[in-house]
Chains A and B, each alone.
Chain A
Amino acid sequence: MVLHCYFHSLGHSRSKELKGNPITFYADIVNAMLIRATGQNLQMEYTRSLKLLDHVKLSEKPGKIIPSGDIAALVYLWNPFTIVACVGLSTSPIENLAIILSLYGACKRQAPLAAFGWVIATHLSLYPAILIIPMILLLGYGTDTPPRKLFLQRRNVEVGDNPPNDRCCEREEVVHRSEVPHVFSWRPVIHFFCWTSLWSVYVLVLCGISVKQYGGLWELFKRTYGFMLTVQDLSPNIGVLWYFFAEVFDFFRNFFLIVFHGNILFMMLPLAIRLKHRPCFLAFVYIAISSMLKSYPSVGDSALYLGLLGLFVNELADMQFSFFLFCGYVGVSLLSPVMHNLWIWRGTGNANFYFATAMAYACLQIILVVESVSAMLNHDRKLRKPLTELQDGKN
């Protein structure tokens, strides 16, 4: 599989060397490798928790559990969006690199790496700042597992059940039980915060030195984060904000800016409560939402969350509307350049033509997020089902 993966990335590299843009290209390759490592980590955890929950048949069947890391890496590398963003010399592969680096570091529970990734990602594109919640959860609880209630339930079942005198098995159980992350461990989180403050001070100092003659840090913030938050550039992109803020009256502008950005923040907390046992998936949902609502979205952002979606291929296998979503993505990604051409170059269309595709794209993203979250919750329910049956049988 590794060979397969490398073969593909080699093919990928060849297709990209034609354009000669080494930095973004290498960033993409590193991204894919990090995604793969993260995926392997997640998968190990997944099989382990399945074993703990006694779905032994499931976990042992060969071919039943798909190597999600490889899939995700391949999806990321071969995604036309990634290729387009890379060939177009977009900086999004580098932003993606920072995000993935922080996720990887958090999965491996390496607080310095996670902190570094998070600080750089926030510095580069600001929106990854909301990833701090999944980071904390990841460092505190560990990677994605089924809900903790299930483990407790399982233990109750075991306690009620008098196991046959199979000592070695019991010992294993004990060992496993001790491994189950029940409590929030504060140590790595505090480490993370220390490292975060260290890295951010470091980045700020470096920035301060380099922009001293251009007006200092405040000017930097105004020109970068302020530019992102106040949506000053209204040139058309695949998002919906440019059209909206071109149309809106000036005296409502601030209000709607707050509404749109508040939208992301409002969604954070409920999702964090509901999905706290799956911090990686939570990070995916956050990235998808922010790439939908951010001020200047690009296809590179979609490439990132589509790649991360591949990480959960085992859990999301039963997702509804997958075919519809696929068709929609293909259709929109073909239609939107045509509409742009019709508007800008041929002059027979107008802005509404292009905006229609942007709206369709936003709707597709919403459906994707909603469906993936519901599929994930359904998956958790399915895991609980045999346990409850077992318990009912006992009672």
Chain B
Amino acid sequence: MAESEAEVPKAKPRPIVRLGIFLISHSCLFSVICCTAGVLTLLLLPVLAKNTYISENALMPGSANPMFSSQEVSEANRLVKSLTSLDSKPVGSGIESQRLIAEYMSDLGAEISYHKFYPRSNQFHPLHFFSYPDSGSTRENVSCISHGLNTVGIIRAPRGDGKEAIVLVTPYNSLKVGPGEALSLGIAYSVFSLLTQVTWLAKDIIWLVADSRYGEYAAVNAWLRDYHMPVFSGLSALKAEICPVSNVHNELKENSVTERKINDGFRRAGTMATALVIKVTDGSEHFEDSLSIYAEASNGQMPNLDLINIVNYLAVHRQGLRVKVEKMRSLINCKWLKILGEILQSLGHVAKSLNPQWKFGIPAKDYVEGAATLASSLYYQALGVPTGPHGAFRDYEIDAITMEISSRVALNNKARKNDFLLRGGRLIEGVIRTVNNLLEKFHQSFFLYLLTSPSKFVSVGVYMIAFALLVASLPVVAASLYADAHKVDPSFGIDKSTPQASATDELSITPRSCKWLNAAKKVFLVHLWGAVVSFLPYFICQIPSCTPTTSFVVWVLLSSFSLPILSLILGSSFSYGRPSQPQKRDWTLLKSVTISAAFIGLCLMSVINFATAEIGALLMVPMCLMAQPLKLDIRSRKLRKFLRVACNLALGFLGFPPAGFFVLKGAFEGFGGITVGDFWSWLESIWSWSSATYLYIGWFERTRS
């Protein structure tokens, strides 16, 4: 409906056209209403959250009685004891603990293999998003000295065909086994020992004891990569050539346990249905034993909601654990949020008194908690960095969560400890048994959702409303600006042309509809600059021996230089020496093009990563709508204009620091190569920001000139 303005509305146009014209002519009001409604809906999301339910019927959680008994608990205690005793010995190197675990595993009759991996430096691939995860792994430049060793145990299911598997992951530091890690190993071991005996198992069980010396994520990711990418003999020979020392080392170790049935090669067990990462922390809880669920994987992906539902259901209704998800603590004490919650509560009461059927009010405390959880959920999804080792699984389309079980008191008391182990073991047994019932992959429930509490969620259909309302003003404003630009134009044309020439002028070939091409070129240039700037770190990373500060400085210098170079190449100038009328028209067109570009970008981002798009939209939409050329405003000295300038500058400043902050953080974490397994997702998220923010820099630059 954008250009319907151009038509002369003599004949009554169709209703939809009239609606379009109406919207365009009232675009200012419309955009204000839309933005407000968008923000309000976002604030209402905790109220609109629905209770979770288990969508897949085949799961039948908790339908069987747990078989986990005190016998398994004693097994767990045995392992924990020997681990701690091993730890107290000063000579025990990293290898010892793995050998111990492998011995325990093989006593149970499981297949065991070691998986040796080298920690890889994080690399950013510009096209990572579209390629298969880690397809470029052939180029290995690893140091042979440092390597981690995962221990993998596999139970073959008595009733299965070996096509499917469930994965248990217990990350632990092989150099220094902490008490919590020992306990998590103990729980996993006890469950594992139980599963060797049961008859109902239809999927193989893989227990991955991940060596988290170089980070939990790296270990799990390396194992998954090797699991999904078969290494052929030629390549392994090559590897052996590269690292002969460690290979010998490996053989030595294998000789020492020859009597065990330890397999030399990599063992596999079909596609993975689910992965559970088990962790134990102790002594931090005040009230009761609790279970924290971490689900955010890389780039804002979430596991299927059914998995969280199962864990939540079994933990709450069977084991009596308190389930938590991450929440933003700073928001809980927020005053305005509390007030808002109370307003909503009273509104709900009023609605209930009007009609008892309306039950949308929730208590203020619930609202505040829900909002805090929602905020953290949004934050972690927007960040795009996985919150634990489960993030590695999502890249291979495997649903995984981290379950962090924490006890109320320090586990010194033996009875307490046994009780704790029993509950934890029963929970995991229950989850595995439920997933074991699954006939196909998790597909029934949601993948796109936000959690407001462990048992409440906001589905994609609901939270998209908030986003759509927020963004809806952009195309309308773009259309109205575009129409304005065309309205300004004919008057200008007629002023100059003599009446006699008007006949030919009417059919003149001035490309009326193609005037936007110039503006589009400018916007394209600035976007290109944004892209160049955000891809620069990839090349800067290649420079060896660089401290974060110098590389950051190099980045800033290069990016500021690249804009003039680009504009030189593409031959577009930023200088204007023309009268103000066409300049204003150019400006309107430029703004319209920019807004439409921002709209496309935001819609694209909302598909890739909703949370990033939502936060970006919150910042960008007001900026887009308020932006005005500074020069024109300053010329006409009026209070209103001055206010607008101040507003613009403030918004521009507001829009810039987050980008600066993000960029800084990304630069330091990425260049330092500290932890970020998903530097690319950082950059991806930054990119969507930056291209927009750079636009504003571009705007201000050219409006000031």
Contacts from A to B (Cβ < 8 Å): 55, 57-58, 64-66, 313-314, 317-324, 326-327, 330-331, 334-335, 337-339, 341-342, 345-348, 353, 382-383, 385-386, 389
Contacts and interface: CB of A to CB of B under 8 A. Distances in A.
Interface of B: 2-3, 6, 129-130, 132, 301, 397, 447-448, 482, 501, 503-504, 506-514, 516, 520, 592-593, 596-597, 600, 603-604, 607-608
A109 B303 CA distance: 64
B507 A347 contact: no
A43 to B, nearest CB: 12
A326 B520 contact: yes
B520 A335 contact: no
A334 B600 contact: yes
Contact of B2 (A321, A382, A389): A321
B504 A324 contact: no
Given A58-B509, A317-B510, A322-B513, A345 B132 contact: yes
Contacts of B507: 55, 58, 382-383, 385-386
A317 B397 contact: no
Contacts of B514: 317, 322
Nearest to B504: A57
Contact of B513 (A57, A317, A348): A317
A17 B448 CA distance: 42
B513 A320 contact: yes
Contacts of A330: 600
Given A55-B504, A335-B603, A346-B397, A323 B513 contact: yes
Contact of B129 (A341, A383, A385): A341
10 contacts: A55-B504, A58-B508, A317-B513, A320-B513, A323-B516, A324-B3, A327-B600, A347-B397, A348-B447, A389-B503
Contacts of B516: 322-323, 326
Nearest to A314: B509
Contact of B608 (A318, A338, A382): A338
Contacts of B604: 331, 334-335, 338
Nearest to A324: B2
A339 B607 CA distance: 8
A370 to B, nearest CB: 14
Contact of B603 (A320, A331, A337): A331
Contacts of A347: 397, 447
B607 A348 contact: no
Given A324-B3, A382-B506, A342 B511 contact: no
A383 B501 CA distance: 15
B331 to A, nearest CB: 28
A301 B596 CA distance: 26
Given A318-B513, A385-B507, 10 more contacts: A58-B504, A314-B509, A319-B513, A320-B513, A321-B2, A322-B513, A324-B2, A324-B3, A331-B600, A337-B130
A317 B3 contact: no
B512 A318 contact: yes
A317 B512 contact: yes
A353 B448 CA distance: 13
Contacts of A319: 513
Contacts of A342: 607-608
Given A348-B301, A348-B447, A348-B448, A335 B509 contact: no
B443 to A, nearest CB: 8
B508 to A, nearest CB: 7
B298 to A, nearest CB: 10
Nearest to B3: A320
Nearest to B510: A317
Contacts of A335: 603-604, 607
Contacts of B301: 346, 348
A327 B596 contact: yes
Nearest to A65: B509
Contact of B482 (A55, A323, A331): A323
Nearest to B607: A338
Contact of B503 (A320, A334, A386): A386
Contact of B509 (A64, A321, A339, A345): A64
The prevalent SS among residues of B at the interface is helix
A289 B608 CA distance: 32
Most buried by B among A314, A337, A338: A338
Nearest to A321: B3
Nearest to B460: A348
Nearest to B475: A327
Contacts of B447: 347-348
B504 A317 contact: no
B509 A320 contact: no
Nearest to A357: B607
Contacts of B508: 58, 64
A66 B520 contact: no
A287 B600 CA distance: 28
Contacts of A66: 509, 511
A203 B507 CA distance: 48
A46 to B, nearest CB: 11
Chain A to chain B: the 8 pairs with minimum beta-carbon distance, closest first:
A348-B447, A347-B397, A382-B507, A317-B511, A322-B513, A331-B600, A327-B596, A323-B516
Contacts of A337: 130
B2 to A, nearest CB: 5
A322 B596 CA distance: 13
Contacts of B510: 317
A385 B600 CA distance: 40
Most buried by A among B3, B503, B509, B512: B509
A313 B3 CA distance: 19
Nearest to A339: B607
Nearest to A319: B513
B128 to A, nearest CB: 11
Contacts of A323: 2-3, 482, 513, 516, 592-593, 596
A346 B607 CA distance: 12
A319 B448 CA distance: 40
B13 to A, nearest CB: 14
Nearest to A341: B130
A306 B514 CA distance: 15
Contacts of A320: 3, 6, 513
A353 B604 CA distance: 12
Most buried by A among B6, B448, B508: B508
Contacts of A389: 503
A348 B460 CA distance: 12
A321 B507 CA distance: 19
Nearest to A331: B600
Most buried by B among A65, A66, A324, A334: A324
Contacts of A383: 507
Nearest to A58: B504
Contacts of A313: 511
A346 B129 CA distance: 10
Nearest to B511: A317
A386 B514 CA distance: 25
A382 B596 CA distance: 32
A337 B514 CA distance: 28
Nearest to B130: A341
Contacts of B503: 386, 389
Contacts of B603: 331, 335
A114 B316 CA distance: 77
Contacts of A339: 607
A64 B132 CA distance: 51
Contacts of B608: 338, 342
A330 B597 CA distance: 9
A313 B597 CA distance: 24
A338 B127 CA distance: 12
A132 B510 CA distance: 34
A346 B608 CA distance: 10
A66 B517 CA distance: 15
A348 B446 CA distance: 9
A232 B696 CA distance: 50
Most buried by B among A331, A348, A389: A348
B479 to A, nearest CB: 8
A339 B514 CA distance: 30
